[in-house]
Amino acid sequence: MKNFWILSALLLLWCMQVKAQDSLTIYQVYPSFNDQEKAEWTAFQNDWNFFDYVALKKKHHIKTMSCRKCEGFYADIYVEIGGTGNVVKATALRASRCGRSTTDKLLYSDFENSVSMHHFKTLRHKRFIARFGLVLKC
């Protein structure tokens, strides 16, 4: 009887996990994009890295990225782009500052705000998780 309840509980957990995965369509950024969308995303990433990321590093007092001082400053963000090309939702799922996972709400909101301000011309009706920031291979 004990094995029956354990099996039932595992089956219930599996069903809940499958339902959660089905309710969120996660696009892998490049494979699901057509050529125009890839070009726009690449341009956005380059622009974001050059302007927004530099400002975020400065605001959070990260002067240099190196394996000795700070090997990673990033956030994994769930991005939802609506039908008009505006970022409808940008939610930081996980963030790391200099090798340590963080729950700093200001850091999360800074990443979210920097992504949510952008407008896309060809990217529409997309939902995916993307990493914003940098992790060095130390």
pLDDT tens digit string along 5-15? 665 555 554 44
CA angle 110, 115, 116 (to 5 degrees): 100
Sequence spans of domains, the chain: 25-135
**Which one is predicted more confidently, 88 or 137?**
88
Beta strands 72-81; 126-135: pairing state: antiparallel
Question: CA 126: distance to chain centroid?
Answer: 13
pLDDT tens digit string along 84-129? 999 999 999 988 888 888 878 988 999 999 999 999 999 998 888 8
End-to-end CA distance of the chain: 51
Sign of the C-alpha dihedral, residues 119, 38, 40, 95? Answer: positive
Residue 15: predicted pLDDT: 46
pLDDT tens digit string along 22-80? 333 344 556 678 889 888 988 998 899 899 999 999 999 888 888 888 888 888 899 99
Residue 101: predicted pLDDT: 81
- In this structure, the dihedral spanned by the alpha carbons of residues 62, 77, 30 and 127, taken in order and rounded to 10 degrees, is -160
**Structure tokens given for 69:** 């001082």
pTM of the model: 0.72
Smallest Cα–Cα separation from 92: which of 133, 52, 51? 133
